[in-house]
Amino acid sequence: MIKRTIEISSNPAHLMTRHGQLILRRDGETVGQIPCEDLGVVVVDHPSTTYSHAALTSLLDAKATVILCGPDHLPKGLFLPLAENSQVVQRINAQIAASRPLKKRLWKQIIVAKIRAQADNLVDDSSEQRRLLQFAREVKSGDSTNREAQASKVYWSAWLTNADGESGESLFRRRREGDSPNSLLNYGYAIVRAAVDRAIVSAGLLPAIGLHHTNRANAFCLADDLIEPLRPMVDETVRSLYWSGQTQIDRETKQALLELLTVEMQAGGQSGPLMVGLHRYAASLVRCFQGDSDQLEIPTPCNSTATAVCGS
């Protein structure tokens, strides 16, 4: 079953539960109810939203992730369910024991997939696209020659170039605190990252122990690793929004970015919504840690040139 994503932003609400249903109440009246088991992500953006303790624990019991946004509308934190997996201790031990060479090989796969996805976002057969595809072929174990950074520089310089080779924003710079469309990119990345976190925990892994990212102050290093090949799908949506004149984080842009979680993706020879593909992705990482596989099943958009079969 496809898990639903809901957002509370336009009006405040009180969240409570009754008989397994998440109840949304406003001014003493029930304005909506949804089975907790149907929910995958709940995004709360209105500062006056209130909760019952039972609402939060019921959502976590249903394996839903709750994302809390700040005044800038960007996610500030999240509630993740604790893994209920009969093999959680074994999997965490395998994750901790993963060798450095294995991590480097997996990081190479991630970076190759990211650069190829970035290339898919550029004008077909442009010099920039050809350079990115060449970089993807040159990635070494652990990306020791830093092809990711080199590809990023070329990618962002051409990102807003349209199919006619024209760019209205040739001076665009990707900066976390930069002007629009940076804020839209930040929001989209944060939503997808939260879904990646959910898949990691559900697989019985620790999100703090990464493959490449190792910042001791970051509790989600592994999510920051696994999201890398998925960033270009956010970029593509943000670019379309920006070109259509939507430059701010508002109801329309948030809805478009939240819908990324239901985009049809291919992973491991099977297709389905991104939320499902992320679980296959995390499960493939478990198999790599346990020595049962050496390949990650990285979700790829069905319209990607790298995807051979989709929709089956």
Q: Are residues 118 and 99 in the same domain?
A: yes
| Token duo for residue 264 | 């049809």
Separation of alpha carbons 165 and 123, rounded Å: 7
Identity of the amino acid at 105:
R
Query: Which tens digits make up the pLDDT trace of 174-216?
Result: 888 877 899 999 999 999 999 999 999 989 999 999 999 987 7
All residue ranges of the chain with pLDDT < 70 are 1, 83-86, 162-171, 303-312
Q: What is the DSSP letter of 297?
A: -
Question: Is 167 inside a domain boundary?
Answer: yes
Q: How much is the pLDDT for 302? A: 82
Q: How much is the pLDDT for 311? A: 42
Q: Are residues 50 and 93 in the same domain?
A: no
Q: How much is the pLDDT for 309? A: 41
Q: How much is the pLDDT for 81? A: 80
Residue 176 CB coordination number (10 Å): 10
Percent of the chain with pLDDT over 90: 74
Q: How much is the pLDDT for 192? A: 96
* Domain end position, chosen among 79, 98, 115: 79
Q: Which residue has tokens 């509370």? A: 8
The sheet carrying 75-79 orders its strands as: 4-8, 39-44, 65-69, 75-79
Q: How much is the pLDDT for 308? A: 42
Q: How much is the pLDDT for 143? A: 97
Q: How much is the pLDDT for 268? A: 86
Domain of 13: which CATH number? 3.100.10.20
* Domain end position, chosen among 46, 79, 112: 79
Domain of 180: which CATH number? 1.20.120.920
Q: How much is the pLDDT for 161? A: 74
Q: Which residue has tokens 């004008």? A: 123
* Domain end position, chosen among 27, 49, 79: 79
Q: What is the DSSP letter of 33?
A: E
